[in-house]
Amino acid sequence: MATAGDVLRDKDITEVFSIAPGATVLEALHIMAERKIGALIVIEDGQVVGILSERDYARKVALMERSSYTTEVRDIMTHDVLTVDSLTPIEVCMSLMTERRLRHLPVLDQGRLQGMVSIGDLVKAIISRQQNMIDQLEQYIRGS
């Protein structure tokens, strides 16, 4: 059974991008745009204290007519961060993300950030597993 840790190992980008809660939203947007990512982990004193996503920006800055130049990340980040560990099966991750309407899920082992999986990462992993199963069944049927 594939796990969140397996997904992290298979990702093209292994670096975890983060930002401090006192940074401006504009700084966060620059990082997300440069790295082509949709969310940042918010870290303070080595601990995960939140997550900032494009959705947070859209709903809490753009729609509220706030300034991304002066608004701090701590003012709009999601504070109650749902996390999983590296042994969590990808089906459980997918279920949690679907139920909670999340697109990003930080992976922590013993309180240490290992990475972040996105809904796209999970879909890619599931499709890959299904394709492998199809290939194996085709080989079995052909007798090879």
CATH number at residue 111: 3.10.580.10
Is 4 within 8 Å of 93 (Cβ atoms)?
A: yes
Domain encompassing residue 132? 4-142
Q: What is the pLDDT of residue 138?
A: 86
The confidence score (pLDDT) of residue 31 equals 97
Q: How much is the pLDDT for 142?
A: 86
pLDDT of residue 62: 82
Domain total in the chain: 1
**What number of H helices and E strands is found in the chain?**
6, 5
What's the predicted TM-score (pTM) here?
Answer: 0.83
Q: Strand 112-118 vs strand 39-44: parallel, antiparallel, or unpaired?
A: unpaired
Q: How far is CA 20 from CA 17, 44, 53, 114, 121, in A?
A: 11, 6, 14, 17, 25
Contact 6, 88 (CB under 8 A): no
Cα-based distances in Å from 128 to 6, 9, 75, 134: 12, 14, 39, 10
For residue 59, what are the contacts with CB-CB under 8 A and spacing of at least 6? none
Please report the pLDDT score of residue 133 as a whole number.
85
Q: What pLDDT, on a 0 to 100 scale, did the predictor assign at position 104?
A: 95
How high is the mean pLDDT in each 10-residue block of the chain (144 residues)? 92 86 97 95 94 94 89 96 96 95 94 92 89 86 81
Ramachandran area for residue 35 (φ above 0: left; ψ -120 to 50: alpha; else beta):
alpha
